[in-house]
Amino acid sequence: MHILQVTPYFFPHFGGVESHVLGLSENLIKLGHEVEVVTSRYSRMPETENLNGIKITRLPQWINMYNTPIVTSIKEFVRRTHADIVHVHSPPPFTERFAAKGAKEAGKPFVVTHHCDLELRGFFGNTAVNIYQNYLGNYPLRVADRVISTTESYATTSRTLWDIDVTVIPNAVDINRFKPDNDGKIIKDKYSTDDEPLALFVGRLVPHKGIGILIRSLNYIEKGKLLIVGDGPYKKWLENLVKKLDLNERVIFVGPVDDYWLPAYYAATDVVILPSTSRLEAFGIVGLEGMASGKPLILSDIPGVRDVISEKEGYIVEPLDPSAITEALEKIWNAPEMAREMGNRGRKRVEELFSWEKVSKDVENVFTEILTK
């Protein structure tokens, strides 16, 4: 079948949704399908290109508000597509509405993957989200032939999805790229003197990721270092916090890491931590990459994220509580054999539930069911 993926941003833009769309598209191609992506154009990117067999069209943004591309031409692009099925990924908002309008005008089957709820801070932010959802955002969900959520707990606690019939299909990870026998010696030797234990955070440096809480947790434990891989607008604030807490020797801002080196960072560390505090974090692909690499996890107890593990592969801790992270770190760092067992169980769980081979097949089955009705 010919599948059109519609996404507000796409590779090389960095983020969980972008990573998911890329991996899903590549693996649907492996299953024998033709996959096309339409997305927003920014900077001096080419209007069209081919990446790993994916035909990409980048349309100009009419305006960009709060990191949300408004690409009105997506409606016309989708209306004219020759694809058999249109699959849109949300958020950021607006893109799914343009795609839904175009798909319905063309009589095309239409699927939405709702990756997370919208969230803006403060009274005016909440008001804006409510207005959008009530008057614009509900339409794509109402007219979709199928709505996909990545976890059961997120779907059942979402104000956006509470009365929508949802199919649960999780995010996925490349289990051949992230694996326990990857070599992390170069990274380990660079950052760990006297075999100090290492903790790893990977992601954008933004408030809802809870990185400040994670940094504060090191105040309560004397050993170990934290590697922070990524970049973002919150970096300066976090660097000032590290200086204030006198943790300069124990918190290392690695910065953005090339895809080639990322598996080595997981291999070098002893525990992977995702301390997110908001519904903007609905799953956490970082957790899958850590488990695939055979590492124990420390995850926040928030909807979606807590579904990644069964608690045999790490610890689920209260969000916004540095001491809870400290307690979990101590248990993992003080019991290396137990940590290895957690990592082994995590690898097995990823192979069973979160491989791209399984997840792409599940999405393919949804498309096939719709097209054969």
Same domain? For 24 and 161 the reply is yes
Same domain? For 230 and 331 the reply is yes
pLDDT at 96: 95
- Domain region containing 254: 185-353
Same domain? For 288 and 337 the reply is yes
Same domain? For 138 and 277 the reply is no
Instruction: Let me know if residue 178 belongs to a domain.
Output: no
Instruction: Let me know if residue 311 belongs to a domain.
Output: yes
Contact 57, 41 (CB under 8 A): no
Instruction: Let me know if residue 220 belongs to a domain.
Output: yes
Which residue intervals of the chain are DSSP H helices?
A: 16-30, 74-80, 95-106, 122-132, 138-143, 152-157, 185-191, 211-217, 235-244, 262-268, 285-292, 322-333, 336-353, 356-371
Instruction: DSSP for 330-368, please give it.
Output: HHHHT-HHHHHHHHHHHHHHHHHHSBHHHHHHHHHHHHH
Please name the amino acid found at residue 171.
N
Contact 286, 203 (CB under 8 A): yes
Instruction: Let me know if residue 274 belongs to a domain.
Output: yes
Same domain? For 362 and 338 the reply is no
- Percentage above 90 pLDDT, the chain: 79
- Band of pLDDT at residue 85, cut at 50, 70 and 90: very high
pLDDT at 42: 87
Residue 46 pLDDT exceeds 80 = yes
What mean pLDDT is predicted for residues 304-323? 91
Please state the domain count of the chain.
Answer: 2
Same domain? For 120 and 89 the reply is yes
CATH number for 16: 3.40.50.2000
Same domain? For 78 and 46 the reply is yes
SS3 (DSSP) at 324: helix
Same domain? For 348 and 359 the reply is no
Same domain? For 203 and 248 the reply is yes
For 118-151, write each residue's pLDDT tens digit.
Answer: 777 777 767 777 777 777 778 999 999 999 999 8
Same domain? For 359 and 305 the reply is no
Instruction: Let me know if residue 179 belongs to a domain.
Output: no
The number of residues making up the chain comes to: 373
Query: Which residues, in sequence order, are CB contacts of 146 under 8 Å at separation 6+?
Result: 111, 112, 167, 366, 369, 370
Hey, which of 68-77, 186-195, 274-283 has the most confident mean pLDDT?
A: 68-77
- Lookup: tokens for 339: 């940590």
Q: DSSP assignment, residue 184?
A: -
Residue 281 pLDDT exceeds 80 = no
Instruction: Let me know if residue 180 belongs to a domain.
Output: no
Same domain? For 198 and 154 the reply is no
For 225-235, write each residue's pLDDT tens digit.
Answer: 999 999 999 99
Instruction: Let me know if residue 126 belongs to a domain.
Output: yes
Same domain? For 144 and 243 the reply is no
